[in-house]
Chains A and B, each alone.
Chain A
Amino acid sequence: QQQVKQSPQSLIVQKGGISIINCAYENTAFDYFPWYQQFPGKGPALLIAIRPDVSEKKEGRFTISFNKSAKQFSLHIMDSQPGDSATYFCAAPKGGYQKVTFGTGTKLQVIP
């Protein structure tokens, strides 16, 4: 039973373009919404996170937009670079304690 739905599955963006990845969740009892970035051969690394009482958070070229009423949040990567090519996961803590439910991942390829 999927609790976090992520789209698209893959994304190809030109260098300098904007990459947008979307996630929708079902449960309202989440404390925060993180995004993780994973390069081949590495574990996921926390990229940026947002609290549910904030509608937007920006860190450098990365922005999370959060729509509580629609139960959706998205990651925007501005001025996408080839070094951003990785798999991105949205996540939501569910079930208490440290358990986190992850989206299915989006493989981003930024072409020169």
Chain B
Amino acid sequence: KAGVTQTPRYLIKTRGQQVTLSCSPISGHRSVSWYQQTPGQGLQFLFEYFSETQRNKGNFPGRFSGRQFSNSRSEMNVSTLELGDSALYLCASSLDNRGLRSSYNSPLHFGNGTRLTVT
């Protein structure tokens, strides 16, 4: 079974631009969440989606948004990029077939991330 796939692997953008990152979850997984990883802040939760609905959102500005499609694939968008947005953006999926909490039997599985550099 293929793992979580994120595209592109690397992106270089300039301040003020916007960017869209893509995530394909493991087949059969219905929940997708996004995390930002930086050396200073570690892994920080951005948001999560289930059945095309955002269920939870972290403490990030409105410039960060996302969506999930009917096939569970997800995209996240960052508008008006700032230098501080440079980070590894990770997508994770989980089975979550009952729409419940992350559990022992339905842990998160991460992709290898998109490395975003803002210059």
Q: Which residues of A contact B (CB under 8 A)?
A: 31-32, 34, 36, 41-46, 49, 51, 89, 93, 95-105
Contact = CB atoms under 8 A, between A and B. Distances in A.
A33 B30 CA distance: 21
Interface of B: 4, 6, 31, 33, 35, 42-43, 45, 48, 50, 55-56, 58, 90, 92, 94, 96, 99-104, 107-113
B45 A46 contact: no
Contacts of B56: 95-99
A98 B31 contact: yes
Contacts of A97: 31, 48, 50, 55-56, 96, 99-102
Given A44-B90, A98-B101, A102-B35, 20 more contacts: A32-B102, A42-B112, A42-B113, A51-B104, A93-B103, A97-B50, A97-B99, A97-B101, A98-B33, A98-B96, A98-B108, A99-B33, A99-B45, A99-B48, A99-B56, A99-B58, A99-B102, A100-B102, A104-B42, A105-B43
7 contacts: A31-B101, A31-B102, A32-B103, A32-B107, A46-B108, A89-B42, A97-B99
Contacts of B90: 43-44
Given A98-B31, A98-B108, A43 B4 contact: yes
A102 B102 contact: no
Listed residue (B42, B55, B94, B103) with the most chain A CB atoms within 10 angstroms of its CB: B42
Given A49-B107, A99-B48, A44 B101 contact: no
Contacts of A43: 4, 6, 90, 92, 110-113
Nearest to A96: B101
Contacts of A46: 107-109
A34 B107 contact: yes
